[in-house]
Amino acid sequence: MKQITIAIDGFSSTGKSTVAKLVAKALGYVYVDSGAMYRAITFFAMQNDMISNNHFSKDKLIAELPNAKVSFKFNDELGFAEVYLNDENIERDIRTLEVSNLVSTIAAIPEVRAQLVKIQKEIGKHKAVVMDGRDIGTVVFPDAELKIFMSASADTRAARRFKELSDRGETVSYQDVLENVQKRDHLDSTRKDSPLYKAEDAIAIDNSNLTIQEQLDFILQQVQTILKA
């Protein structure tokens, strides 16, 4: 059976990972959350006092990058791979608003991107992979057979993220979450290295009014069309 590469890019909190995980499960493919890797490096920088809201030791981080080993391990119970930093499971630590507020600064550094893109290409070299992020269809897998570009209104996305964080017990304000979403949109799409934009051959999905099932069905239909071609 022919195997393909599926790249899912888009703005933050568009539900890329939810749909990408389901697509991977339906096809028996590997799912990779590339954003988790940028979050892992951000967590590494926070832990080593290299970044906070009012300082950033960029050169120190670049020098220390070889000591930040980011990897994934499949969790059978959860049904997806969790992110590890130097063999420590940091899946929960990277989902805080604090990490979200700093991650775009870290993701703009070319040295960070080069290190992570190398790992992403390695994971995807045998295809049968669904990877979500910002530059997957443009930089990591420009030859991916299927590219999806997800968007939704900032309000819809902030409401989703707010619910997710509140459900997890984090005390956050809706306004702070909305501001984070808008700030990241801006930083991610205006940075110099690998900015977020829709690849010419990507299919755009605005999922403001779509259920997860509708998105999944649509993507699986596209996969079937490609496999039959």
Applying CB under 6 A, the residues found at the interface with ligand DC are: 12, 34-35, 38-39, 103-104, 107, 133-136, 184, 188
The least distance separating ligand DC from the CB of residue 12, rounded to whole angstroms, comes to 4
Helix axes 97-107, 110-123, angle to 10 degrees: 100
* Torsional class of 73: left (φ above 0), alpha (ψ -120 to 50), beta (otherwise): beta
The least distance separating ligand DC from the CB of residue 43, rounded to whole angstroms, comes to 11
- Cβ proximity to ligand DC: between 97 and 210 the closer is 97
- Cβ proximity to ligand DC: between 55 and 192 the closer is 192
Cβ 60 vs Cβ 46: under 8 Å: no
Cβ 180 vs Cβ 101: under 8 Å: yes
For residue 203 the two structure tokens come to: 């299919």
- Cβ proximity to ligand DC: between 26 and 187 the closer is 187
- Cβ proximity to ligand DC: between 206 and 227 the closer is 206
Strands, E assignment, 76-115: 80-85, 88-89
The least distance separating ligand DC from the CB of residue 103, rounded to whole angstroms, comes to 4
Contacts of residue 150, defined as CB under 8 A and 6 or more positions apart, other chains included, come to 8, 9, 10, 11, 14, 15, 16, 19, 205, 206, 207
The least distance separating ligand DC from the CB of residue 224, rounded to whole angstroms, comes to 26
- Cβ proximity to ligand DC: between 2 and 78 the closer is 78
The least distance separating ligand DC from the CB of residue 154, rounded to whole angstroms, comes to 14
